[in-house]
Chain A
Amino acid sequence: MDKNLKTILIAMAILVVLTPLGLLATGETFGEWGNEELKEKLGYVPPGIESLSSLWSAPMPDYTVPGLENSFAESAVGYIITAIIGGGLSLGALYLIGKLMASDKTE
């Protein structure tokens, strides 16, 4: 398993480095329009969407790092940084949850 774990971690690192490929997809995903797109489509921003969209302000919206959004290269670096932060937090959170929960944790 240890050797496999190493392989998996290397594969994960490669995936993270490749994430900026996901930035190349520029389009409007169905049901994920921004307020400007909605205004364009409908002529108005649905009031519920408008009022709820300011409910929570995420620190790195759309996987952008503040200050790193002026060029594709910057966005790509930001995207990789957010992949490391988000992937790392997911990894850490589940590791912690798993360690606390595993039924044979005393062994």
Chain B
Amino acid sequence: MHIPEGYLGPYTYIALFLIMVPIWLYAGYRVRKDLRSKQVPLLAISAAFSFVIMMFNMPIPGGSTGHMVGGAIIGIILGPWAAVVSISVALIIQALLFADGGVTAIGANCFNMAFVMPFSAYIIYKLISGKSEVTSMRRVAAAVIAGYISLTLAAGFTGFEFGIQPILHPAVNGEFPYMPYGLNVALPAMLSEHMLFFSILEGIMTGIILLYIQKSDPSLLEEKKVKSSAGQKTQPTAI
């Protein structure tokens, strides 16, 4: 779902950069405020994990390919703001060094995979988990569903951004300047291949990793109450 160079016209890619800049700045502010030194190795590994997991392209019937992102589990474990920073860095490196995703589309790709995905996963996971024990199966189910829905949402946004190009930039002399396929093609294409394949894999992977964390270090899943440096008020450690 990396949007390549030139598929989005300037209105869309500039708008998405303008949306992402305050998100990046606020994410940086939140990470600075909430991140503990102890969490730094995990944050660093999360970015490498996301980078590598996106290299596992998988073929599906119909000839298309796609991959997981890892955005759901990162959002759940490290919190959505840290996930924004971590996945954005992986996506920027992919665009600059490997031409995976366009440089002009960095804002768009970060919006879809580094913002929409970890945030929706975090919210869904929290809603379904409720006050359940961190080692409960309900949390595993929450992670699976969060993985499934969040990647599907990211794919939906990608399809939407593709699909509005023919409206924003109509054909000139029969040639569309940017993405030529409209919402009626792009949206179902992106949604169906993710809903039927890649989101299922993302859900399973998210669930397996959560299960592993429940067994190995369940404290990572607790919303620890810590004293913030600014005052005595308590806040969750998720960032």
Contacts and interface: CB of A to CB of B under 8 A. Distances in A.
Interface in A8-27: 8-9, 12, 15-16, 18-19, 21-27
B175 A58 contact: no
Task: Classify chain B: how many residues form its interface, as a range.
Answer: 35 or more
B55 A79 contact: yes
Task: Classify chain A: how many residues form its interface, as a range.
Answer: 35 or more
Nearest to B9: A48
Given A12-B48, A12-B52, A29-B64, A49 B7 contact: yes
B103 interface: yes
A40 to B, nearest CB: 13
> Which of B48, B63, B93 is packed against the most chain A CB atoms within 10 Å?
B48
A82 B97 CA distance: 9
Given A19-B56, A87-B51, A101-B28, A49 B40 contact: no
Interface in B41-86: 41, 43-53, 55-60, 63-67, 85-86
Contact of B43 (A15, A28, A32, A98): A98
Nearest to B177: A48
Interface stretch (B113-121, B128-136, B185-193): B185-193
Contacts of B37: 99, 102, 104-105, 107
Contact of B64 (A8, A28, A42, A57): A28
A90 B89 contact: yes
Contacts of B59: 24-27
Chain A contact residues: helix, strand, loop or mixed: helix
Interface string A47-88: 111111101111111110000000000000001001101111
Contacts of A5: 41, 45
A101 B37 CA distance: 9
Contacts of A23: 57
28 contacts: A5-B41, A8-B45, A9-B45, A12-B45, A22-B67, A25-B59, A27-B64, A27-B65, A28-B63, A46-B175, A48-B9, A49-B177, A52-B6, A56-B96, A56-B102, A58-B98, A82-B98, A86-B97, A86-B98, A90-B86, A91-B45, A94-B40, A98-B40, A98-B43, A101-B32, A102-B36, A103-B35, A103-B36
7 cross-chain pairs, A with B, having the tightest CB-CB distances, nearest first:
A52-B6, A49-B6, A98-B40, A48-B177, A58-B99, A90-B47, A25-B57
Interface of A: 1, 4-5, 7-9, 12, 15-16, 18-19, 21-32, 42, 44, 46-53, 55-63, 79, 82-83, 85-95, 97-99, 101-105, 107
Interface of B: 1-7, 9, 28, 31-41, 43-53, 55-60, 63-67, 85-86, 89-90, 93-100, 102-104, 158, 162, 169, 175-180, 186, 189-190, 193, 216-217, 229
